[in-house]
Amino acid sequence: MRMLVFAVALMLTTFAEAQTVKVTGEVTKPLTLSAADLAAMPRTTTVAKDKGGVEHSFSGVALRDIFKDAGVTTGRQLRGENLAKYVLVTCADNYQVVFSLAELDSSFTDRVVILADQMEGKPLPAGVGPFRIIVPGEKKPARNCFQVTGIAVKFAKD
Amino acid sequence: MIMRKGFLKYGYGLAACLAFVMGALAFVSRPGPTPYPLSYPGYFGNRINIPADNPTTMEGVALGRRLFYEKRLSANNTVSCGTCHLQRLAFTDGRRFSIGFDGTPTKRNAMSLANSLWVRNFFWDGRASGLEAQAVTPLTDPHEMGQSLDSSVVKLRAAGSYAGAFYAAFGAAVITPERIVRAIAQFERTLISADAPYDRFLRGEYHFTPLEQEGYELFFGGGPVRSVGCSNCHGGPRTLTETYHNNGLDSVFADPGRAGVTGMAYDRGRFRVVTLRNIALTAPYMHDGRFASLSQVLDHYSDHLAGGPTLSPTLRDTAGRPEPLHLTAGEKKALLAFLNALTDSTFITDPRFSDPKIN
């Protein structure tokens, strides 16, 4: 019995530990962000509608703050060939969405896209969390993707 | 005598020169394999997958086709790839589980090979990245074809009829494990299904019947009838987005699905979304072939979604509860009509894809 409890506890910790977001690609410092890492970073709150059209408040960390830590070309560096960079977000179910780097940058837009870990002050529900992209003001929620596992900054090379 | 000696002397020289020139010519102009023209409609998009080290060639595809139907690749020479991937069933086998060379059933249902060119991760759990990696599993699984690739090499060499085809495909007559799987993968990339009534509709050559039209609108949305959301996962003209979902078959999964590959709790019971191309031909359905008919599949999505922590968010309401589609009898009929319009009779009768020993 004790062994069983231990095994279950071990499994739970393994899964809990394993749920992270990897920040890779055109970065000077690749990151593997856990829930605790996000909690310790500057927090941003924003509002977005669910598929029923009801507004909810989401909080998490702005992608631009994550990019600052990872060493992505933002702000004054976002010019010239760096404008050909894009961000590929990958989710646990293999769903992928793309942003151009410029549309996430504060020198280009006031819109703040976040990697949310809370909805209405609570952890995101099963199947959606622990991490989700929230794009405020977007008409369709298709880029508010669930269970984010990776954020890769890439160069368009064609 | 002197004349003859001279002739011999010059003759040898001439022959040597000629041999050298011919050899050089052959080296320069020896035709390499000819690229295979993979043709597909623009609406399929170009996110295709061909490894740089295994381009698709006429000769490689021809060899791959022979190997696909070659029973010597199984331990007792009774089973080929084509045994469980029958062209007339859009390269499935009509069984819940396939039967290997030794009579043992497989763990999951055989998947259609149609339009694999666009698939990045193979099997129901996506564990093989690429057709080359995929092909190794059924070939060498102890219960499927049950033979190491090294043994296959020995048997193909002994067969004696393959050296020329390997030479044509790979520029070397030597048969290797790698070349066997590469040729099979090349053939599989050519299995493109793009001539169903739905394709003819997309090309403006066919008008849907009213029932097909209603099914199409229910499926994709954007019409006067409601969208039931099929295209959330089976989107686009290829009718799939390559994602993994728990589609509510069970609350507790006997088969861990994608979690068996990733080890992640959130992947329990998730399986790869399959293409619905030729779906009317590929019964039974789901990873374990539990549904014998498309009507049963529609009944499942309509009325029987099982809840659970990993149920796809696309099948939940905003409160997180399972949200069955509640299809009416009329809606089911319309969806069935559209699903039947995905059957491509050109694909299942295309002589380029059949067993070369028969056709």
The domain locations on chain B are 42-192, 197-346
Instruction: Test B313 with A14 for CB contact under 8 angstroms.
Output: no
The angle, 0 to 180 degrees and rounded to 10, between the axes of the packed helices B58-68 and B177-189 is: 100
Least Cα distance to B269 among A40, A132, A92, A100 occurs for A92
Which residues in chain B have Cβ-Cβ distances shorter than 8 Å to A52? 317-318
Region A11-19 average pLDDT: 51
pLDDT in tens, chain B (359 residues): 444 544 445 555 555 555 555 555 445 455 689 999 999 999 999 999 999 999 999 999 999 999 999 999 999 999 999 999 999 999 999 999 999 999 999 999 999 999 999 999 999 999 999 999 999 999 999 999 999 999 999 999 999 999 999 999 999 999 999 999 999 999 999 999 999 999 999 999 999 999 999 999 999 998 899 999 999 999 999 998 899 999 999 999 999 999 999 999 999 999 999 999 999 999 999 999 999 999 999 999 999 999 999 999 899 988 889 999 999 999 999 999 999 999 999 999 999 999 998 86
Residue A40 — very low, low, confident or very high, per pLDDT cuts 50/70/90? very high
Check CB contact of A147 with chain B, cutoff 8 Å. yes
A with B: how many residue pairs have Cβ under 8 Å apart? 45
Check CB contact of A120 with chain B, cutoff 8 Å. no
pLDDT score for B19: 55
Nearest by CB to B242, from A52, A94, A127: name it.
A94
Nearest by CB to A126, from B126, B241, B320: name it.
B320
Check CB contact of B314 with chain A, cutoff 8 Å. no
Give domain status of residue A127, yes or no: yes
Instruction: Test B318 with A52 for CB contact under 8 angstroms.
Output: yes
**Cβ-based neighbours of B314, under 8 Å, separated by 6 or more:** B229, B232, B233, B245
Nearest by CB to B313, from A11, A94, A127: name it.
A127
Q: What's the token pair of residue A54?
A: 């009801």
Q: What's the token pair of residue B236?
A: 């686009």
Nearest by CB to A50, from B265, B311, B318: name it.
B318
Give domain status of residue A6, yes or no: no
Give domain status of residue A11, yes or no: no
Region A54-74 average pLDDT: 96
Q: If 0-12 CB within 10 Å is exposed, 13-18 middle and 19+ buried, where does residue A136 land?
A: middle
pLDDT score for B147: 96
For B135, the 3-state DSSP assignment is: helix
Q: Which ipTM did the prediction report?
A: 0.78
Instruction: Test A92 with B313 for CB contact under 8 angstroms.
Output: no
pLDDT score for B144: 96
Region A95-108 average pLDDT: 96
For A99, A102, A103, B179, the CA distances from A84, given in Å and listed in that order, are: 11, 9, 12, 39
CA pair distance B203, B265, nearest whole angstrom: 43
Please report, as a single letter, which amino acid is at residue B268: R
CA pair distance A144, A122, nearest whole angstrom: 17
**Residue A45 is part of a domain; what is its CATH number?**
3.90.420.10
For A153, the 3-state DSSP assignment is: strand
Site of tokens 């029987």: B304
CA pair distance A23, A20, nearest whole angstrom: 10
Whether the Cβ atoms of residue B324 and residue B305 lie closer than 8 Å to each other: yes
- The average confidence (pLDDT) of chain B is 92
Nearest by CB to A93, from B245, B265, B316: name it.
B245
- pTM equals 0.86
Give domain status of residue A33, yes or no: yes
pLDDT score for A82: 95
Residue A9 — very low, low, confident or very high, per pLDDT cuts 50/70/90? very low
Task: Report the gap between the CA of B245 and the closest CA in chain A (Å).
Answer: 7
Q: Suggest the residue from A15, A89, A93 to mutate for an interface test with chain B (most B CBs closer than 10 A).
A: A93
For B20, B75, B88, B293, the CA distances from B101, given in Å and listed in that order, are: 51, 7, 21, 27
Q: Which residues pair with B128 in a beta bridge?
A: B122
User: What DSSP assignment string belongs to B225-258?
Assistant: SPP--GGGTS-TTTT--S-EEB-SS-SS-SS-BT
Check CB contact of A53 with chain B, cutoff 8 Å. no
CA pair distance B285, B276, nearest whole angstrom: 11
Q: If 0-12 CB within 10 Å is exposed, 13-18 middle and 19+ buried, where does residue B226 land?
A: exposed
User: What DSSP assignment string belongs to A74-100?
Assistant: -GGG--GGGGGEEEEEEETTS-EEEEE
Q: What's the token pair of residue B352?
A: 């380029």
Task: Report the gap between the CA of B225 and the closest CA in chain A (Å).
Answer: 18
Check CB contact of B268 with chain A, cutoff 8 Å. no
pLDDT score for B359: 64
Instruction: Test A14 with B320 for CB contact under 8 angstroms.
Output: no
CA pair distance A89, A71, nearest whole angstrom: 17
Check CB contact of A51 with chain B, cutoff 8 Å. yes
Evaluate if residue A18 carries a pLDDT over 70: no
Check CB contact of A102 with chain B, cutoff 8 Å. no
Give B42-192's CATH code, choosing from 3.40.1480.10, 1.10.490.10, 1.10.760.10, 3.30.70.580. Answer: 1.10.760.10
pLDDT score for B36: 97
**Residue ranges making up the domain that contains A72:** 20-155
Site of tokens 């977005």: A48
CA pair distance B279, B337, nearest whole angstrom: 12
Task: Report the gap between the CA of A77 and the closest CA in chain B (Å).
Answer: 31
Evaluate if residue A137 carries a pLDDT over 80: yes
Region A26-31 average pLDDT: 97
Which residues in chain A have Cβ-Cβ distances shorter than 8 Å to B241? 95
pLDDT score for A125: 85
- The number of domains in chain A is 1
H/E segment holding residue A48: strand A44-49
Q: If 0-12 CB within 10 Å is exposed, 13-18 middle and 19+ buried, where does residue B341 land?
A: buried
Whether the Cβ atoms of residue B280 and residue B339 lie closer than 8 Å to each other: yes
Which CATH architecture is the domain B197-346 placed in? Orthogonal Bundle (1.10)
pLDDT score for A16: 42
Tens digits of per-residue pLDDT, B54-67?
999 999 999 999 99
A158 or B248: whose pLDDT is higher?
B248
Q: Suggest the residue from B232, B244, B266 to mutate for an interface test with chain A (most A CBs closer than 10 A).
A: B266
How many residues in chain B?
359
Check CB contact of B227 with chain A, cutoff 8 Å. no
